Amino acid sequence: MSETPEVRPPVVTPVRVVIALCLIAPFVAMLWVGSYAKVDPTLIGIPFFYWYQMLWVLISAALTMLAYKLWQRDQRARKAASGGAAR
């Protein structure tokens, strides 16, 4: 009796690309120092350099949460597609 090969979903999917972008965006924003190495505009007396970085702390937390939720959904979909079998 011949065994049929296991069909696996692709490793790189659009959802996983979005997850990667969510996790990479904060690094790119913070490593591109020339984009925020200035004093103006100030926000309640805080120079742009500082409040921009603090804003990215909040943005990074939101993007990480989004990536995590997308990852959970992707894993549930993969588990359902494989018949719920444990790996």
3-state SS record for 31-71: HCHHHCCCCCCCECCECHHHHHHHHHHHHHHHHHHHHHHHH
Give the whole-angstrom CA distance, residue 30 versus residue 43: 19
Residue type, 64: T
Give the model's confidence band at 1: pLDDT under 50 very low, under 70 low, under 90 confident, else very high.
low
pLDDT in tens, 33-82: 998 888 999 899 999 999 999 999 999 999 999 999 999 999 998 888 87
58: exposed, middle or buried (C-beta count within 10 Å: 0-12, 13-18, 19+)?
exposed
Structure token digits, residue 30:
């913070």
